[in-house]
Amino acid sequence: MSRCVLLFFLTAVTAFCGDAPPADDLPAIKLVKPYPKRTFNRPLFVTHAGDGSGRLFLLEQDGKILILPKDPDGEPKEFLNIVGKTTRVDNEEGLLCVAFDPNFKTNGYFYIWYSMAEPRRHVLARLSVSKSNPDAADMASEKILLEIPKPFGNHNGSTLAFGKDGYLYISIGDGGNANDPLRNGQNLNSLLAKILRLDVSKEENGKPYAIPKDNPFVGRADARPEVFAYGCRNTWRMSFDRETGALFAGDVGQDRWEEVNLIVKGGNYGWNLREGRVKFERTPDAEASDVTRNFVDPIWVYDRKMGTSITGGYVYRGKRIPGLAGCYICGDYTLGNIFGLKLKDNKVIGEKILLNQPKNICSFGEDADGELYVMMFDGTLYQIQPAP
């Protein structure tokens, strides 16, 4: 691509975002390396334990979780290592997410989501922190809570997040390949292409978890009771607004549209009968009337001018950039754009590309103070800070 064409492209990209009015008052941002001398092995998630320690945990896709030092030149500590246990036959497999129990400070529990092979499957496991070392996991404590067979290596979804209700929410992709060939999206008896909601504080009915009694499909013979929402193609990163408790999710599109969804109880987001807000043309038996079903519309979409793979982020609640307070920050993996969406009553009322940069954005993360981080597959961890 010539320099002139590239400049024209970036100008067009900056001028046009998605389907909401421009929000020119949102501040520009920059990416700063908090560990300028260090790279990581496919960093894929950053989070905190919510225990008041201020520790920052970084997950590497091949199977490690590191505790990052407060000193930018310090050495990380290895908190967990399942390298050799998890598998990454496909680019999207491996150790994909971690969530700390709301009562981690007292019970020491945390949860991981990873891939295994032979047979290929998703694994949800609970572990405990070591009784002798608060900076290390007790690897012997692993308890498998859920395994879900999957037919293909891609579309693993994969976010674990606790809501204000204390329940664990899990995003799971449609099983992979393309076009949802097994029609998992609209099949309530499949756990694929869903958002699940589990009570992991107790065991019930022979399972190592319980079903919240108000889950939307409890008691239905044609549905799994774990399901909270469905019709999701590949929800790559979802997060709760720490102030309002609303659950926002970035769902990766197939051919035309990338979307941000507000996840609600019992919501059907349409896949694979539609993509974004329109009929999905590759589902052969889908009728035009399918798009008029009682689907939950995305709160924001963008087309292939803006990128081809959304990376869901967070509603910003930090202090460093006051002008972004209450905005949903997300990005695109392929083009590297970082978007800011102004919200009112959980609806998008304005949009802006906060930053054009060329690297693949594989994940966002949040620390205990609500400040946001961005991870790239070049091994770099960045923090979002205000531009001068």
DSSP assignment letter at 67: E
The rounded distance, in Å, linking the Cα atoms of 169 and 227 is: 10
Tokens of 6: 């590239």
DSSP 8-41: HHHHHHHH--SSS-B-TTSPPEEEE-SSTT---S
Taking alpha carbons only, the member of 56, 81, 80, 78 closest to residue 68 is 56
Residue 174 belongs to domain spanning: 3-386
Residue 222: CATH number of its domain? 2.120.10.30
- Whether the CB-CB separation of 70 and 53 falls below 8 Å is answered with no
Which residues fall within 8 angstroms of residue 8, CB to CB, at 6 or more apart? Answer: none
Q: Which mean pLDDT values do the consecutive 10-residue runs of the chain (388 residues) have? A: 37 58 95 96 97 97 97 97 95 97 98 97 98 98 98 95 98 96 96 98 97 98 97 98 98 97 97 93 70 86 94 98 98 97 98 95 98 96 96
| Domains in the chain, number | 1
- Whether the CB-CB separation of 191 and 227 falls below 8 Å is answered with yes
User: CA torsion 324→326→330→335, rounded to 10°?
Assistant: -30
Burial of 244 (0-12, 13-18, 19+ CB in 10 A): middle
What is the pTM assigned to this prediction? 0.94
Which residues fall within 8 angstroms of residue 324, CB to CB, at 6 or more apart? Answer: 26, 27, 29, 316, 318, 340
What per-residue confidence (pLDDT) applies to 288? 56
What per-residue confidence (pLDDT) applies to 77? 98
